[in-house]
Amino acid sequence: MWQGKRVYLIGAGLSGLAAAGWLLEQKALVCLNDKKAFENFDEAKKRELLNLEAQGAILDLGKPCDPLSFKAELIVASPGVPLDQAGIAEAKAKGIPVTNEIELGWQVSGASIVAITGSNGKTTVTSLVGRMLKAAGFDPFVGGNIGTPFILAAPGLNERSWAVLELSSFQLEGVLSLKPKVAVFLNLTPDHLDWHKSFANYEAAKWRIARFQGPEDWLILNYDDPLLRAEGHKRIAESAGAGAGQTQRGPRILWFSTREKPASGLWIDQEGWVRFSPGSPAQTRGADPDGKAAADSEGARVMPAAEFALPGRHNRENLLAALAACLVLDVPLEVLRQAAAGFKAVEHRMEVVGEWQGVLYVNDSKATNPDSAIKSLDAYERPILLIAGGDGKNAPFKEVAEKIAEKAKLVVLIGKDGDKMKEALLEQGFDSIRMAATLEEAVDICCGLALPGDLVLLAPACASTDMFSNYEKRGEAFKAAVLRTQSCGFNLLSVDA
């Protein structure tokens, strides 16, 4: 299939290098392009590039992409590579397909896919679903937009295997046939508008998660998100109107809600129990074999929501979404409860760093857009000293500024769009603002002004790429800056890894 095929890869990031290495092993003819010149890569990346070149890859670095000059038969673009740039547009016009390593992994492996997308919460839900399925004996691969690129694991997977994939809008934009058994769409708010050019384009990319699903598949949607609810009801109505004897075109839809009781799906009752509503798959199965998840007229009780340790309403939504994804795969209810109860926050997502003289420090570097920062702020009742700012990706700051004015006692702003965020805060009448040139300086300011009972929270509402290579590096820098205060009495909390 791949031997002798001319493949042009764009982007020498983690997934691009992984895809190039795999394609070379398949005897494809590979050309790897990146707008960054060779001398501008770090030493480790230079070694990887030279190794690929030694295996036969052509390096096309430091220049715009030009697939036609390579006579490409297929283009594989890394996440974040704009697909509307001239070289790709010209290739598309010639009928050359454009995809990414997620699609390659899907075609190579044939594994059953649980795919998770949304503007916020993807990493938490992906990790939680992976934990639940592992506890149930599925032994899934967990990756995609987090951890290991899918293409590295795909050759070792087959039709009996499972893969739980976090998928960004960038990755979904390039899929050509990906057909998840279970697709989870968590929420939809403006993000990456600098890349997608409009919210409509961003939304269209996200909905590709269900583009190729059929009636035997499941689409799990957030009933509390007005955009997802409207689109979900539209799809249900279209299926209902297909007519007698006609095959349902799209997937079956299951809802989750922390505010209401959907007709079919998961919700939280007044006593704080997670339930499956009548009409959902769990209702047909009733209690688990041990009788620990009794079903009544209100549906099957699964677990008290409070057993899930992560704070905030958005984490209740994450819990329900993960439970729903595993429910439709017939995971026993008691397995789900035990796996959820033992789940800890993923790194850089509302990660407790420690406490010093009564001041709690939390790293939420993965709050890379305004809506995610709003959810982070809402999760805590302590007085907040917030560190925010970075690359805003053209997203509006009005709503996050309103939330900051409501929840924060001080904001320290950093990064490229710190001034823009300051303007939004001043428009809300909030002027308890300090500016910092570095993240380390911002931590020092908060350390000096925080009082016992306060929370110092890194929730930037922005991407990190103006100051750091990724949000992980930003989170590590925050933790390092906090930990330097050990010399003046810092005491780490006992938090399991």
Query: Would you say residue 462 lies in a domain?
Result: yes
| 337 plus 364 within the same structural domain | no
User: Looking at the domain assignment, is residue 493 inside a domain?
Assistant: no
The string of pLDDT tens digits covering residues 183-210 is 999 999 877 777 777 889 999 999 999 9
Does the pTM surpass 0.85? The reply is no
Whether 48 and 112 map to the same domain: the answer is no
Residue 42's CATH number: 3.40.50.720
Lowest mean pLDDT among 177-186, 358-367, 459-468: 358-367
Same domain, residue pair 176 and 215: yes
Q: Is residue 422 domain-shared with residue 376, that is, in the same domain?
A: yes
Name the amino acid, one letter, at 174: G
Read off the CATH number of the domain in which 183 is found: 3.40.1190.10
Specify whether the CB–CB gap between 275 and 269 falls below 8 A.
yes
pLDDT band at 496 (very low <50, low <70, confident <90, very high): very low
- Are residues 89 and 236 part of one domain? no
Q: What is the pLDDT of residue 294?
A: 47
At 260, give phi and psi (nearest 5°).
Answer: -135, 175
37: left (phi over 0), alpha (psi -120 to 50) or beta: beta
> Are 281 and 143 in a shared domain?
yes
Q: 48 with 156, same domain?
A: no
CA 100 from centroid of its chain's CA atoms: 17
Shared domain check, 357 and 334: no
Q: How many domains does the chain have?
A: 3
317 shares a domain with 201: yes
Cα dihedral 165, 186, 223, 289 in deg (nearest 10):
40
pLDDT band at 148 (very low <50, low <70, confident <90, very high): confident
Boundary-marking domain end, from 341, 369, 384: 341
In a domain, 145, yes or no: yes
| 218 beta partners | 182, 252
Among 280, 309, 341, residue at a domain's last position: 341
Mean pLDDT of the chain: 88
Cβ atoms of 319 and 274 within 8 Å: the answer is yes
- The pLDDT tens digits of the residues spanning 110-124 come to 899 999 999 888 888
Residue 49's domain spans which residues?
6-99
Residue 497 included in any domain: no
- CB 354 within 8 Å of CB 490: yes
For residues 336 and 359, state if they share a domain: no
Give one word for 189, left, alpha or beta, with left for phi > 0 and alpha for psi -120 to 50.
beta
Q: Tens of pLDDT along 340-363?
A: 998 887 788 888 888 777 788 999
